[in-house]
Amino acid sequence: MGSCDARHRRVLVLVRHGESRYNAEQIFTGLLDVDLSARGHAQIAAAARLMADAGLRPRLVLTSPLLRAVRTAEGIRATLCPEAPLRENWRLAERDYGCLTGVSKRECRERWGDEAFFTWRRTLEGRPPAATAAQRASWRGLDGAGLGPLVPGGSESLADVVERVRPLWGRLLPSLVAGEGPIAVVAHGNSLRALVLLACGLGADEVERLNIPAAQPLVLEFDGRGEPLERTGHYLDPRTAEIEAGRVADEGGT
């Protein structure tokens, strides 16, 4: 694989996919396979430029199997590191939102109230009810290919996502300690929150406050023992990331 600066060999770059069509409409997407919006496609180039300017050319790109993540990963790889392997992993798929899948955030608040909205959306243990058979029958953009044992509509808490991401993190960490980075992971708001929790040892309160904006590369650096050098890493464009994370928070969170 391509060469890189030695100081980047223990670096993990996390990239939430570009804006999807459902993101733009503020709809809970979960495991529905929705494509990027026009803005989302444009965001890929911006993310790749930030990584290039920082000298971060991944030696491996991991992605969720969902289309919005794959498109983002392919765009970053084509620009920065066409020789690097691109691998899909079902563990990086978005959280299964159960009965919220395909429902707008506004409707969720109106139907279930602000307390349930916050608990299901932000907390570590909150889990929405499972989807009904009628809901499942109404879903479009539900392929299921590449999702491993996940059955869309069953519902997951963030804690459930942490447990499915944990084995992947267990394989990534030794590679980073061995200096096989930079490694890029392109996934979703919740699977990336889970990965940051595992990598940085975040508590429940910290992960509740963690909002990861679309297409803003988040850099995690590690020492030779696998300990993070910063509590939650740093964004390559911190000013824009803060603004975009604020917008995510205003919508109710990642």
Residues that are catalytic: 17, 94
Give the separation between CA 247 and CA 254, rounded to whole angstroms.
10
* Nearest by Cα to 32 from 133, 141, 121: 141
Which residue in the block uniquely carries the two structure tokens 């464009």?
Answer: 237
Give the separation between CA 164 and CA 4, rounded to whole angstroms.
31
* Nearest by Cα to 221 from 236, 209, 208, 210: 236
Q: How many residues does the chain have?
A: 254
Which residues, at least 6 apart from 244, have a Cβ–Cβ distance to it below 8 Å?
A: 213, 214, 216
Helix (H) or strand (E) holding 218: strand 218-221
Backbone angles phi, psi at 120, to 5 degrees: -70, -30
Give the separation between CA 202 and CA 211, rounded to whole angstroms.
13
